[in-house]
Amino acid sequence: MSSASIRASIQSRRNELSSAEVRDASIEISRNLWKLPILSRARRIACYYPVGNEVDCLSFMSAAWERGRTVLLPTLHGPELQFLPCGPSTDFLRNRYGIPEPIAARPLTVRPSEIDVVLMPLVAFDDNGNRIGMGGGYYDRSFRFMRHRCDWQRPKLVGLAYELQKVPKIKARSWDVPVQCVLTETDIYRF
């Protein structure tokens, strides 16, 4: 199957989830995130604002603030993402896709290579850490420096997904950046 057909199929299945199913799975995933050794040491954690039945990491963000971690959210900056710190009182504006982005001065931007852990939304993933996103390529372009690195010390890329988003095989393209781990409501997949 092509990436486009996998994306359409999985998005359709994800959209059928009830709000209770999304809430319950998201809570379980957020709890399990703290069991990952990489999260116990992480100081700067990039999250995302969930849309379209994506795994909701807002409760994880609250727990991260309580633990004194710096929480970052992506903002569109041309063809790439910039990451800005946010807190409980941060104001937001919606970008051209309708996704809330934090309002902050650009000097506060944290480079992708300075982030410890990046929690990534995804549409589908396979057993090799390949993933399909929404199709814009923003995460692939923002983390392209990782395709050529042998040492993956920072950042660690962690996909958040429902078990229904796992597929047998995704054909990786030369520009794709794989994740090192995917957390679902029932399992942790390490690659």
Residues 120-174: tens digit of each pLDDT? 999 999 999 999 999 899 999 999 999 876 665 789 999 999 999 999 999 999 9
> CB–CB of 69/42 below 8 Å?
yes
How much is the pLDDT for 149? 64
Give Rg (Cα) of the chain.
16
CATH of domain 3-190: 3.40.50.10420
3-state DSSP assignment of residue 9: helix
Element (H, E) at 159: strand 156-160
Cα maximum dimension of the chain: 44
DSSP code of 155?
A: P
How much is the pLDDT for 152? 59
> CB–CB of 72/78 below 8 Å?
no
How much is the pLDDT for 105? 63
Question: What are the pLDDT tens digits along the chain (191 aa)?
Answer: 899 999 999 999 999 999 999 999 999 999 999 999 999 899 999 999 999 999 999 999 999 999 999 999 999 999 999 999 999 999 999 999 999 999 876 668 899 999 999 999 999 999 999 999 998 999 999 999 998 766 657 899 999 999 999 999 999 999 999 999 999 999 999 99
